Structure 1
């Protein structure tokens, strides 16, 4: 019988800021829920991650429903140490670029915390979305909305979820309370919605590509091992395809994008390598590929941040011109 790991910690973020986090329930009264026909509204749970100025309390990792969904025989996700604080004060002084994250089918919104904490520690505000009924979602008061989607994500609903979040962020930036939850003062004042990015993993990668096509406010996007990718539409805004070793990008999808674009692969990885399984599970080449977890996390964090720094902060980099010496497992496909 495999023994369950009872206590592990995610890798420390590499930036100077301590990530703050707050959970928020959002309701879109303008559309019914696609998975529950008799529910005349769509409700979501999101996490808002931001550079903090102190205070708050140590953050929990996943809620009960989310942890039960993602835990394995050898990993208990109710006992993971984070580097974030819940409800901390907001670090003021400058406007922050904002990133929206969409997870894979069946994955909780905060199952990429290693990547999100790192981005936040470098000055980004990141909003992670649970696509309700595609995974178990923990709502306030202990209510858990179980998974109803079996094998396929609802792309239309997912893109509308992203647009709902953008609308709520606009309300927050204008000083209104966008949903149910206790927000720290001044959070809306640090949002720079002129510098919006989006990224997603698996089905969330397809969500990223389609959301960018439909919404010009999204200025740059990263597809992490995206599948499936939408078969129609294109645009001229920057997009990075960062995939596992076996990832395949349809030629038609690549050809439709007219602006800055790169396709990279991380050798010795699988689709699960972009989740928190990579740093948390015992190293298992069959599940996660032969490349060591530390190298995968460093490579993914480095390229994700460099892309958004380049396109949302205008920070020059030569990283996408060829391989980086400290990340030799990343290869530029085109």
Structure 2
């Protein structure tokens, strides 16, 4: 399963898109041990089936890969920011390692069939084929469902980037090594396992927290093989789940369930959630703008007074 996010021409009267479908969210909550009603799940700022805004040029494309046992909605904060700034973002559920609902109502959960980062990368390359089809005016939907008005022919298959969290960050690097259609990549706290020993000659940025070059030999080794533009940033107080929608959602869940501040911080770190979200909005956008749109972003040049929490790891 995949979703496509994009700038919309008009949204009046269209329903807001849920963060996850109710059935998939129910399975996720049950797995996490959160006794919450999935019918009360969050809504996004996106609208379902809105017509595409065509600004006079095709939209650069980004594909997103989630972490192990996660789902394609896990970094909606980043996805919405990118789509709101003129990107088409395709978010991917890696079947058998995700919580997802199919159009026929089947709900799949992680487990049963092991999924490697290479399997994730194969999924992403299939999705890139679908991007090529949409860019050429063909509908790749397996059931032939009509796409939103204006989407066919709206994508720029020559300007493609990829990003992912955890295992999805590793998959992003592997996809770039196997497929030159991806011009720039962002790994969000990816462990880079199994060890990557092949040189990558295109721009790559790492947002690290727990899987750092200092703590993870695989991450350090990968860094040495980045032959193009490379950047490694890290926010003080960040842990693995800091970079993602958990930064906003876990404190809300915690208040409902009576979690202590310490329990919440064990999950999302000590970085203020509002600051975490702002960092997630600013840095990925600056990176892809610089390398897919050739819009120089000085935010990436050096530490910023606007983001004192963010360290540049040289």
Shorter-chain TM-score bucket reads: 0.7 to 0.9
Paired residue secondary structure (2:222) = helix
Work out the CA distance in 2 between the residues paired with 1:293 and 1:77: 23
Work out the CA distance in 1 between the residues paired with 2:36 and 2:308: 29
Work out the CA distance in 2 between the residues paired with 1:305 and 1:120: 10
Question: 1:69 and 1:104, CA in 2 relative to 1: closer, same or farther beyond 3 A?
Answer: farther
Identify the structure with the greater strand proportion.
1
CA contact (8 A) 2:170 2:190 kept: yes
Any residues of structure 2 matched to 1:46-61 within 5 Å, and which? 46-55=2-11, 56-61=14-19
* 2:237 equivalent to 1:272: no
Work out the CA distance in 1 between the residues paired with 2:305 and 2:183: 29
Spell out, residue by residue over 1:209-249, the C-alpha distance to the aligned partner (whole angstroms, 9 max, x if none).
10001111100000000023442322210000111256335
State the 1:182 CA deviation.
Answer: 3.0
* 2:178 equivalent to 1:214: yes
| Residue equivalent to 2:313 | 333
Work out the CA distance in 2 between the residues paired with 1:205 and 1:119: 17
CA contact (8 A) 1:62 1:77 kept: no
| Residue equivalent to 1:234 | 199
* 2:109 equivalent to 1:146: yes
Alignment gaps of 5+ in structure 2: 252-260
CA contact (8 A) 1:245 1:265 kept: no
Alignment size in residue pairs: 289
| Residue equivalent to 1:199 | 163
Work out the CA distance in 2 between the residues paired with 1:235 and 1:222: 13
Question: 1:321 and 1:77, CA in 2 relative to 1: closer, same or farther beyond 3 A?
Answer: farther
Question: 1:76 and 1:299, CA in 2 relative to 1: closer, same or farther beyond 3 A?
Answer: farther
CA contact (8 A) 1:229 1:253 kept: no
Q: Please provide the CA RMSD for this pair.
A: 1.8
| Residue equivalent to 2:153 | 189
- The alignment's TM-score, normalised by the length of structure 2, stands at 0.87
Spell out, residue by residue over 1:26-63, the C-alpha distance to the aligned partner (whole angstroms, 9 max, x if none).
xxxxxxxxxxxxxxxxxxx0000010011432112202
1:321 to 301, 304, 311: 301
State the 1:133 CA deviation.
Answer: 0.4
| Residue equivalent to 2:62 | 99
Paired residue secondary structure (1:83) = strand
| Residue equivalent to 2:96 | 133
Identify the structure with the greater helix proportion.
2
Question: 1:271 and 1:307, CA in 2 relative to 1: closer, same or farther beyond 3 A?
Answer: same
Spell out, residue by residue over 1:172-207, the C-alpha distance to the aligned partner (whole angstroms, 9 max, x if none).
111111013331122022211111000000000000
State the 1:257 CA deviation.
Answer: 1.3
Any residues of structure 2 matched to 1:151-190 within 5 Å, and which? 153-179=115-141, 180=143, 181-190=145-154
